[in-house]
Amino acid sequence: MKSYLLNDFIVERIEDRCIDCGACIQQCSFGVFSRDKDGKIKIQEEKCVGCLRCVIFCPTKALIVRPNPTTYRPNSYWTREVIQDIKKQAETGGVILTGCGNDKPFKVYFDHILLNASQVTNPSIDPLREPMELRVFLGRKPDRLEIEFNGADDVEIKTELHPNLVAETPILFAGMSYGAISYNAFKALAMAAAEFGTYFNTGEGGFPKELREKYGKHAIVQCASGRFGVDPEYLNCAAAIEIKIGQGAKPGIGGHLPGEKVTEKISETRMIPEGTDALSPAPQHDIYSIEDLSTLIYALKEATNYEKPVAVKIAAVHNVAAIASGMVRAGADIIVIDGFRGGTGASPKIIRDHVGIPIELAIAAVDRRLRQEGIRNKCSIIASGGIRCSADVVKAIALGADAVYIGTAALIAMGCTMCQRCHTGKCSWGICTQDPNLVKRLNPKEAAKRLVNLLRGWSLEIKEMLGGMGINAIESLRGNRDQLRGVGLEEWELEVLGIKGAGE
Amino acid sequence: MGRRTPEKDIQACALFGVMNKLGKRFGCEMVVTALKNMKVRGNGLGAGYAVYGLYPKFRDCYALHVMFQDGNIEAKRAVDRFLNENFDVVDDEEIPTNPEANVVDPPLLWRYFVIPQKKGKDKVLSDDDYVVSKVMYINTKIDDAYVFSSGKNMGVFKGVGYPEDIAEFYMLDQYKGYIWLGHSRFPTNTPGWWGGAHPFSILDWAVVHNGELSSYGTNRRYLEMFGYYCTLYTDTEVIAYAIDLLMRKQKLPIEVVSKIFAPPLWHIIDHMDEKRKKFYTTLRMVYGPLLLNGPFTVIVARHGEMFGLTDRIRLRPITAGEVDEYLFISSEEAAIRAVSPELDRAWTPPGGEPIIGRLEADLDEVLPSQ
């Protein structure tokens, strides 16, 4: 059947710059470049996904990749994307898959919220000259401390404390499994988390044994519907455990790692036969209710001697506040809310683009509900899904989060260009692939350096913003919605966010 | 000297506290003189005093000072009714004031001496909690009525005006106490209304405060979880509630509470010996939402105790002095010297280090019932 689809991109080669070195042929994992029988470089631009690997690695900057300007008759209802999707399905009869998060022009609440700064009545603080503290504790806190006081230097704490994670910055790496991402990408995340004093999340694909000793202290291991790689050793080597109920990119949907990606190493890590599909069911089949969740939470706590906080991650959905409240009451020490912008390796496009709610509204609603019920300090909240910059982090925390997860931003730091072709397994940047030739393109040490740099840059910016507000410890920002003002928001939106409009 | 705001553009508040550690009662002269000395720290939009050992005759009654906005007599009737339903009202009278004093639009001011009459489900509450809940009720549910003082054998007098005018208005020279707190206000973020002046007080706690908390939103929302709802939208209210929660309800001493409000920095904690490190780390972990971030100085009093504290990086001034059995805490040393030129000791504590004055005598002995 002839394809009626338009090319997404056009690829141009500037003849007088090209030295015919063939780097583009080597770099492109989607087969755009080849040599014809005369040895001339041939471009099949219908295969181009816009990953820009060839552009970056062309030694003479001879390549230009840009969106195909050819359009259907302009129509703001039947857009190019809609028409293309219909044609694609008419040709394949399948579910359209994609990667990354929701890319539709929904209102970005972060961009309608502005931060405060101190003027006159209290001083701003200069983070270059004064201490500025970003350390956060994640986990359950008691309502009060009982102490035995025998003078200021001799105080005994009587209250039994729950285990908490200690992160040196309120930014953690979100769950991305070995299998979904490459070994090198996985290792880079672990290395960066350890170096910076924060945490990475293994995702649901297990935790390679040789990395456990060195990086276990900085790992949050996931226990998801497929239970891949879960055993007592896996649970106990980590700093915390996360039960994944859902994720922002595909709420209510499971996962599928095709058998061709289940290499020997992945098979060992996931504890499944080599070459078999790794299927993660949509629900966890032992959790059909809140009491089932509680059972699993306490089973994991029992298995780890109550020494590790247990997190529960859900996608931000309509009743997120009530669900979160139930999760805390079920025993979750940390709740992770993943907004609809959250990314993924592979998801049905229709789900990615139409299910879930914005993280900003979800965090505000959850924080408010937990406070109303007097249980906010029984858990920590991690905001996840579409955190793009340090200002998003600050806004999320001021809305009520304790910390954030970054996934997409971390991948971008390592090289990802958001081409949304994660599900193809051909990631030319060596991130979302198991092809050994592609994987080795990503040097874990260098990728870790990029990640550490990103954390450092964001942390410095957070300090600048805090200092501007006259705050020198991140805990004084949490839930401090007075430091936020809305612009271009409707009354109900301000109400849900719990913030005033600018000028108020 | 009118209520005209000084033209010079400055902002600050003046705080002063003086305590006789033997519990001997004395008059208002020192505190008024000290606040006058710090005139430029206020702008005539609010001043007030808290006096301990004020009502020995009614020492077992809660003394409620109530203001009725615009002389609203309906509000007073509602409060009278409410108090008669919930308390034994032992005595009540209009608070004596001097109509000649230089203040504008004073509200109707009344004081009631009451004993709780708990009924039904309220029976499980302690007297203190009962009084707090009834005060909260009046302040949030009865329009134009505001209880600004509710402790035993102590009282708050405050309003819109310079400190010396407020003292004259309330005729403070007729009162005696063993602790006097005073405040002169330069409001920036709340309108100057009578209820908004300092001290803020609940039960026998009184707080005077200088500063603007950047952590207000965090602090306020944490306190809401424990049933404290801020109705005045001032930082001071937040501090008063935090003190009530930590010191009265959770029974933490000021030495610990000061480290919650103004904790040491992590790089200092990380280098402490194991025991202290664990204690301070835990304290910050559990009570992080009550870190008072941004500039503040507070002087807090309750029966038998007065303490002063400034923020962790000392963005607001505090200084202390001692002479004989008197302890002074002040925004400026000059004000202490204005009261007592000779001091046994004068010092400026570092941020987060409380100045603590405790009664060295048994209150019952030095202040017998009359």
Amino acid sitting at position B240: A
**Of residues B179, B221, B204, B224, the one with CA closest to residue B328:** B179
Query: Please, which pLDDT band fits residue A111 given cuts at 50, 70 and 90?
Result: very high
- Angle at CA of residue A495, ends A493 and A497, nearest 5°: 70
Judged by a CB distance cut-off of 8 A, whether residue A160 touches chain B is no
Same structural domain for residues A237 and A383? yes
pTM of the model: 0.92
Q: State the nearest Cα–Cα gap between B214 and chain A, in angstroms.
A: 6
* Assigned CATH class of B14-57+164-366: alpha beta
Contact B294 A122 (CB under 8 A): yes
In Å, how far are A171, A179, A180, A346 from A257, measured between CA atoms? 28, 7, 7, 9
Q: pLDDT at position A356, please?
A: 96
Residue indicated by tokens 């970005």 = A108
Residue with tokens 């996985």: A186
A386 in Cβ contact with A362 (< 8 Å): no
Query: What is the number of structural domains in chain A?
Result: 2
pLDDT at residue B291 is higher than 70? yes
Beta bridge partner(s), residue B297: B210, B310
Cβ contacts of A311 within 8 Å, gap of 6 or more: A220, A240, A241, A242, A243, A332, A333, A334, A335, A336, A382
State mean pLDDT over B39-67: 93
Say if A342 falls within a structural domain: yes
| Partner-chain residue, chosen from A147, A157, A479, that has the shortest CB–CB distance to B218 | A479
Predicted pLDDT of residue B196? 80
Separation between Cα atoms, residue B236 and residue B196, nearest integer Å = 10
Segment B120-154, tens digit of pLDDT: 999 999 999 999 999 989 998 999 999 999 999 99
* Residue % of chain B over a pLDDT of 70: 93
Q: Give me the CATH number covering residue A65.
A: 3.30.70.20
Q: How far, rounded to the nearest angstrom, does the alpha carbon of residue A134 sit from its chain's CA centroid?
A: 20
Q: Any idea where the domains of chain B sit in the sequence?
A: 14-57+164-366, 61-151
Tell which of A134, A144, A370 to mutate to test the B interface (max B CBs under 10 Å).
A144
Is the confidence at residue B5, as pLDDT, over 50?
Answer: no
Q: Is residue A100 part of a domain?
A: no
Measured in degrees and rounded to the nearest 5, phi and psi for residue A223 equal -120, 100
Gyration radius (Cα) of chain A, Å: 24
Angle at B367 between CA B363 and CA B369, to 5 degrees: 120
Cβ of B205 under 8 Å from any chain A Cβ? no
| Class (C level, CATH) for B61-151 | alpha beta
How much is the pLDDT for B348? Answer: 95
Scanning every residue of chain A, which has its alpha carbon at the shortest distance from the alpha carbon of B229? A372
Q: Rg for chain B (alpha carbons), in Å? A: 20
Residue B60, CA distances (Å) to A5, B90, B154, B174, B344 in order: 88, 10, 11, 21, 36
Mean pLDDT (whole number) for A37-58: 96
Q: What is the pLDDT of residue B369?
A: 52
Confidence of residue B6 (pLDDT cuts 50, 70, 90): very low
Residues of B in contact with A118 (CB under 8 A): 214, 294
Residues of B noted as catalytic: 13
ω before B199 within 30° of 0 (cis)? Answer: yes
Percent of residues, chain A, with pLDDT higher than 90: 94
Would residue A436 count as lying in a domain?
Answer: yes
State the smallest CA–CA distance between residue B173 and chain A in angstroms.
34
List pLDDT tens digits, range A490-501. 999 999 999 999
Same-domain pairing of A395 and A478:
yes
- Shortest CB distance from A475 goes to which of B188, B256, B288? B288
Spatial distance between the Cα atoms of B219 and B201, rounded to a whole number of angstroms: 18
Is residue A226 assigned to a domain? Answer: yes
- CATH number, residue A491: 3.20.20.70
- Chain A positions touching B212 (Cβ under 8 A) are 121-122, 470
Q: Rounded to an integer, what distance in angstroms lies between the CA atom of residue A347 and that of residue A250?
A: 6
Pairing between strand A219-223 and A200-201?
A: parallel
For A309-330, the pLDDT digits (tens) are 999 999 999 999 999 999 999 9
Sort residue B277 into left (φ over 0), alpha (ψ -120 to 50) or beta.
alpha
Whether the CB of A309 is below 8 Å from some CB of chain B: the reply is no
**Whether the predicted interface score ipTM is above 0.95:** no
Q: Give the tens place of pLDDT for each residue, A126-176.
A: 999 999 999 999 999 999 999 999 887 789 999 999 999 999 999 999 999
Q: Same structural domain for residues A240 and A343?
A: yes
Q: Find chain B residues with C-beta within 8 A of A145's C-beta.
A: 250, 252, 282-283, 286-287
- Contacts of residue B80, defined as CB under 8 A and 6 or more positions apart, other chains included, come to none
- A478–chain B Cβ distance below 8 A for any pair: yes
Whether A339 and A271 have beta carbons less than 8 Å apart is answered as: no
Nearest-angstrom CA–CA distance, A315 and A333: 17
Residues of chain B contacting residue A376, judged by C-beta atoms under 8 Å apart:
222, 225
In a domain? residue A111: no
Query: Which token pair is A178?
Result: 């070995």
Domain containing residue A171: 136-142+152-501
User: How do residues B161-210 score in pLDDT, each as one tens digit?
Assistant: 999 999 999 999 999 999 999 999 887 655 567 888 889 998 999 999 88
